[in-house]
Amino acid sequence: MSKSGEDRVVQPSMLARADEIQKQIQEISGRDLQLWSIGVLLILVLTGGLMAFLIPNIIWAQRVIRVEHAYLPQLFFGLISLVLLFNIYLLNQKVSLNATRRALIGELVLNERLESLSLIDPLTQLLNRRALNELIPREVARANRLGADLIFMTIDIDGFRAINAKFGNMEGNQLLVDFARILKNIFRGGDVVFRHGGDEFLIVMPDTNEERADSPVQRLISAVKEWNSDSQKGYQIKFTWGLAPYVTGSDFEDVLRAVDRKMYQKRHNLVPVF
């Protein structure tokens, strides 16, 4: 499970960009609230000015409200100008905020689509190696923070190259698809299944120790035996697997190397693959 220098280069996370976009959308919602607050404040100011004009006349019980004719044009023009300017400002701000919001939402949707495409293996529909670099550090950080169990399991399909050479690439691809479907059916929703490359798969099992990990392994063995008996093909699926726990505070790549060693020992010491 060695990694090339190119694989080690971590590109800017799409998940981080999605979080940034969501924060910007929340900020726009906050500006919407500010505009509404300004509108309410304007209404209160106009209401207060009107009440300041009316209340003295009401208190003094004047039947006719008298206003100096010289002030009427200025008062009327001032009120109309204030309302008009505010409406223009409010309209411009709303148009600008809505345009920004639409652009951010469009970018978020595109980002999610690209992220999905970049993290999913198109053949098996499992998570790929790029997703491994995104998600495993999160699981490791969680295990370190909570002191929780974490198991790494790697699986190789035995004789895949020979099957691919004898029956063709299409049959080899179908074998990978069928095996990936078995993995998705066997492992629980909290487990994370990756196609690590070629015929190699990696399963990360949070909150699981070595003893509890034996249950899905046995189910996988049974499911593969059932597939072999029902497939009526000229070959059978055989696989070799290795399992290792994550040690709190360690480098998860050390665990991956330990899993590889165990799988290598099983294969070359003639340990049964089932």
Strand-pair category, 239-245 with 150-157: antiparallel
Length of the chain, in residues: 274
Model pTM?
0.58
Task: Classify residue 254 as left (phi > 0), alpha (psi -120 to 50) or beta.
Answer: alpha
Q: What is the pLDDT of residues 169-194, one digit of tens each?
A: 999 999 999 999 999 999 987 899 99
Residue 197: pLDDT band (50, 70, 90) is: confident
pLDDT at 115 over 60: no
Q: Is the pLDDT of residue 102 over 60?
A: yes
SS3 content of the chain, % helix, strand, coil (to 5): 65, 10, 25
- What one-character DSSP code corresponds to residue 235? S
- Phi first, then psi: give them for residue 157, nearest 5 degrees: -80, 125
The β-bridge partners of 197 are 200
pLDDT of residue 100: 76
